[in-house]
A = this chain, B = another copy of it.
Amino acid sequence: VSGWDPRAVIAAKRDGRVLAAEDLERFVGAVATGEVGDGPAAAFLMAAFLRGLDASETLAMTRAMIASGETVSFPGLTVPTVDKHSTGGVADGVTLALAPLAAAMGLAVAKLSGRGLGHTGGTLDKLESIPGLRTDLTTQEIERQVEAVGCAVAAQSSAVVPADGVLYALRDATATVPSVPLIAASVMSKKLAVATDLILLDVKAGSGAFMKTTEDAVALAEACLTLARGARRPCGVAVTDMSQPLGDAIGNALDVAEAVHLLGGRHRGRLRALVVFLAARAAEHLGGESFESATALAERALDDGTALERFGAMVAAQGGDRRVVDDPASVLPSAPIVRPITATTAGTLAAVDAEMLGVASGALGAGRVRKGDPIDPAVGLVLEAKIGDALDPSLVVGTIHARTEDDADGALLRVRSALTITGASVDPPPLVQAWLAPEGE
């Protein structure tokens, strides 16, 4: 229609006015098609960043983003299905373990993942360190696999919410990433575009996450939940600690090995605690269990081998080498240099700069700076020490996995600079800081 002027939408947001849903949907739709160019789109994003978007505006934006592409559904599934998303942190290997654990508990997980940028690879990259494993599954393949095995972790098609790719690239280039409504619209558009029975979100809070404080993380959690309610989709959101790495492994093959240990009941740290928490919350909502009995069920599935068995079945269904569950070291790629990590002084671990550990792992080759960059699946680091632990220079608290001795030297310097050690005693930070239950619970 001639006479429509995108500048009126920009000017209204610039002046702090609330936009009508139809104006916002039209603007975002035009950005997705390229009808509205980078300049006006970026001006809108900055105005939205500074003036904010209210709940109705954020929902309209999310709807417009979903409408920019295809949606996905699995009409043939007979099991209640969970999708899961984390806002991103360091050593956040939850998905690799949660999907088979939930499957072992009689739920189904259809997890569609983006291939983000980061210090380490994303979930897809981690899985692909298993020789032969494919993540480019069709919707039909995902549906068949979830029905048969109980879980699938696959690449989200770029035909789903293409607007997010356009907007995210622009936000990244224009310093408009850390905005609660813009993050919520980005996260939830991709989840709402896939028809599942429950969306589980894990919003990270702390120095290693986008949201540095619990307060900010809860605001993002609430914005996401509001979007789910607006779309009449059940959604539960956990706000969890990212003041230190969640698990121990920061890499790709190293994360798979950690997931195998966890699923076999041999890892008992914070990562296991969070995986159990989320699986139990899913069973509480979808299976009608109490949270307590669902927790016991989850613990049992990890300790009796059924969760690990589901992981093997998923790996095999996606073309990977199933022996990874029995002997990860013989199947996964490994780095030539393994350097022990020790602290330089004795004391209590008071703080961990998770971001710096990510940088250390990235410098070893575990991540990518630009889309399409290759990653090295074998390298990275493992740090077992957590806040509150006693350290001593004679104690090995982890390992660096590197291509060269020089790389290992650099990583050790970075890891040591990431550790703050004090003489006082320090309490570990609480793991789950908030749980926003699905509607009606």
Residues on B with beta carbons closer than 8 Å to the beta carbon of A7: 173-175
In the complex formed, the residue of B with least CB distance to A11 is: B175
Residues on B with beta carbons closer than 8 Å to the beta carbon of A14: 46, 49-50, 175-176
Q: Which of B11, B37, B43 contacts A43 (CB 8 A)?
A: B43
Among A145-198, those with CB < 8 Å from B are 170, 173-176
User: For the complex, is A47 an interface residue (Cβ under 8 Å from B)?
Assistant: yes
Bits for A43-76, please: 1 = Cβ < 8 Å to B, else 0.
1011101110000000000000000000000000
In the complex formed, the residue of B with least CB distance to A9 is: B175
User: For the complex, is A211 an interface residue (Cβ under 8 Å from B)?
Assistant: no
A46 to B11 CA separation, bound complex (whole angstroms): 10
| B175 lies within 8 A of A39 (CB) | no
| A10 lies within 8 A of B175 (CB) | yes
Residues on B with beta carbons closer than 8 Å to the beta carbon of A8: 175
User: For the complex, is A262 an interface residue (Cβ under 8 Å from B)?
Assistant: no
* Total copies of this chain within the assembly: 2
User: For the complex, is A103 an interface residue (Cβ under 8 Å from B)?
Assistant: no
Residues on B with beta carbons closer than 8 Å to the beta carbon of A400: none
User: For the complex, is A38 an interface residue (Cβ under 8 Å from B)?
Assistant: yes
| A45 lies within 8 A of B47 (CB) | no
User: For the complex, is A238 an interface residue (Cβ under 8 Å from B)?
Assistant: no
Q: A175-B7, A175-B14 are in contact. Are A43 and B40 (CB under 8 A)?
A: no
User: For the complex, is A124 an interface residue (Cβ under 8 Å from B)?
Assistant: no
Residues on B with beta carbons closer than 8 Å to the beta carbon of A10: 46, 174-175
A100 to B145 CA separation, bound complex (whole angstroms): 85
Q: How far is the CB of A324 from chain B (nearest CB, A)?
A: 40
In the complex formed, the residue of B with least CB distance to A49 is: B14
Residues on B with beta carbons closer than 8 Å to the beta carbon of A170: 39
User: For the complex, is A42 an interface residue (Cβ under 8 Å from B)?
Assistant: yes
User: For the complex, is A350 an interface residue (Cβ under 8 Å from B)?
Assistant: no
Bits for A1-34, please: 1 = Cβ < 8 Å to B, else 0.
0000001101100100000000000000000000
A342 to B247 CA separation, bound complex (whole angstroms): 83
| B40 lies within 8 A of A173 (CB) | yes
User: For the complex, is A96 an interface residue (Cβ under 8 Å from B)?
Assistant: no
Residues on B with beta carbons closer than 8 Å to the beta carbon of A173: 7, 37, 39-40
Q: Knowing that A14-B50, A38-B38, A43-B45 touch, tell me 11 more A-B residue pairs with CB under 8 angstroms.
A: A8-B175, A14-B49, A38-B39, A39-B170, A40-B173, A41-B42, A42-B43, A43-B46, A46-B47, A46-B50, A50-B50
Could you tell me which A residues sit within 8 Å of B by CB distance? 7-8, 10-11, 14, 37-43, 45-47, 49-51, 170, 173-176
9 pairs from A and B in contact (CB 8 Å cutoff)? A10-B46, A14-B46, A14-B49, A39-B41, A42-B42, A43-B43, A43-B176, A47-B50, A50-B50
Counting from the closest, the 4 A-B pairs by CB-CB distance are: A43-B174, A38-B39, A46-B46, A11-B175
